[in-house]
Amino acid sequence: MTLLAVVRPDAWNLPLYIHVLGAMVMVGSLVLAASYLFAAARGGSLEATNAGFRSLLYAALPAFIVMRAGAEWIADKEGVKNSNVTWVGLGYMASDVGALLIIIATVASWLALRRARRDGSGTGRGATVAAWLVAVLIALYVVAIWAMATKPT
């Protein structure tokens, strides 16, 4: 019983909801994609590769856009868009690096899918690369969640 709650203005709630919801769906989608892509990397299954690629393209990427749009909106409301505060910097870093890694993983899984469809003899290294990139992304976003919750200065 040592802390008074921090009350935020009502106008911050909707952008925060959109930001957090997008982030949660994105992380869930990344775990979904990882479950398919690691299976594809192990067994070379066309179905798993296809599902992994679709999870990234149709779930993780759109959720990332929602998360980032919500982040921009709430940062604007809070007036921290150009702030040098550590947690804001960590959030933007995780978001920017994350965007790049999601795109690379999506392309790698698409290449794996194309190869599996063409050769019918496995996914090559594409599925493995995509799976490990997604694993790195999940770790990166756990750090981002820590930064957003603890707000280190």
Cα 106 to its chain centre, rounded Å, is 12
Alpha carbon separation from 142 to 58, 132, 134 (Å, rounded): 22, 15, 12
Q: Which of positions 18-37 make contact with another protein (CB under 8 A)? A: 20-21, 23-25, 27-29, 31-32, 35-36
Whether 61 contacts 106, CB under 8 Å? yes
User: What Rg value do the Cα atoms of the chain yield, rounded?
Assistant: 18
DSSP characters for 122-149?
--TTHHHHHHHHHHHHHHHHHHHHHHHH
> How would you label 77-97 residue by residue, b for 16+ Cβ within 10 Å and e otherwise?
beeeeeeeeebbebbbebbee
Shortest Cβ distance from residue 49 to another protein (Å)?
A: 11
Interface with another protein, residue 95, by CB under 8 A: no
Q: Which of positions 128-147 make contact with another protein (CB under 8 A)? A: 142, 145-146
Rounded Cα–Cα distance for residues 72 and 70 (Å): 5
Among 40, 41, 48, 75, binds another protein (CB under 8 A): 48
Interface with another protein, residue 86, by CB under 8 A: no
Binding flags for another protein, 50-79, as an x/- string (CB under 8 A): -x--xx---x--------------------
Whether 102 contacts 33, CB under 8 Å? no
Interface with another protein, residue 4, by CB under 8 A: yes
Shortest Cβ distance from residue 100 to another protein (Å)?
A: 21
Q: How many residues bind another protein (CB under 8 A)?
A: 36
Binding site for another protein (CB under 8 A): 1-5, 7, 10, 13, 16-17, 20-21, 23-25, 27-29, 31-32, 35-36, 39, 47-48, 51, 54-55, 59, 142, 145-146, 148-151
